Structure 1
Amino acid sequence: MIGQIIEKEHIQDFKIIPADVDRSLVLHDILTAAQRLGNEFKSKTTIVFQTEDGPKRVETTVWSLTENYVQIKNGVLIPLKAIIEVSL
């Protein structure tokens, strides 16, 4: 899996930019499953997303999912267009 591991509390320290390929539609189903696992079982998901400093990887609970964003703890939003990879 690619990306430098960071703590979820440090996501806002980076400027998130769109990934080279927009995988929003492809990742929607897996992110929906991640949201369900997070809400029902407090299960964590690994999300790799693009920043100006290169890909970053975070292990976190997905709280909610909208058409354009995934929300994690403390109201942090990650744009779907920035997500490179998701694993449950």
Structure 2
Amino acid sequence: MTAQIIEKEHIGDYKIIPAEVDNTATLYDKLWAAQRLGNEFKSKTTIVFQTEDGPKRIETTVWSLTEQYIQIKNGVLIPLKSIIKVDF
């Protein structure tokens, strides 16, 4: 899978849809760690998520995590069921 790299400021240009496989359960601990890295160490995380135009990849700080979303800069929410991969 090759994900197109986009700037996080352009997420609003794409319609985010659920990924083929819901990875929420397997990625939740990694997303929690990404949130901690962002809040405590200002470290960025690479997130791949599904859009109508195919997978997109961003590098960002995860500000918060709920049961359904991650929040990044400017209050942008990405549904957990749309996330394909997380790396840091």
TM-score (structure 2 length as normaliser): 0.98
Segments of structure 1 that go 5 or more residues without pairing to the other structure are: none
What corresponds to 1:77 in structure 2?
77
Does the alignment pair 1:55 with 2:67?
Answer: no
SS across alignment from 2:50: strand
Displacement of 1:31 = 0.3
Question: 1:2 touches 1:48 (CA, 8 Å); kept in 2?
Answer: no
Aligned residues: 88
Displacement of 1:2 = 2.9
SS across alignment from 1:85: strand
What corresponds to 2:25 in structure 1?
25
- Structure 1 residue ranges (4+ consecutive) displaced by more than 3 angstroms after TM superposition: none
What corresponds to 2:44 in structure 1?
44
Question: 1:16 touches 1:51 (CA, 8 Å); kept in 2?
Answer: yes
RMSD of the TM alignment (CA)?
Answer: 0.8
CA distance in 1, matches of 2:2, 2:8: 16
Identity of aligned residues (%): 78
Displacement of 1:52 = 0.2
Segments of structure 2 that go 5 or more residues without pairing to the other structure are: none
Which letter does structure 1 place at the counterpart of 2:52? Answer: E
CA distance in 2, matches of 1:86, 1:65: 13
CA distance in 2, matches of 1:29, 1:69: 13
What corresponds to 1:7 in structure 2?
7
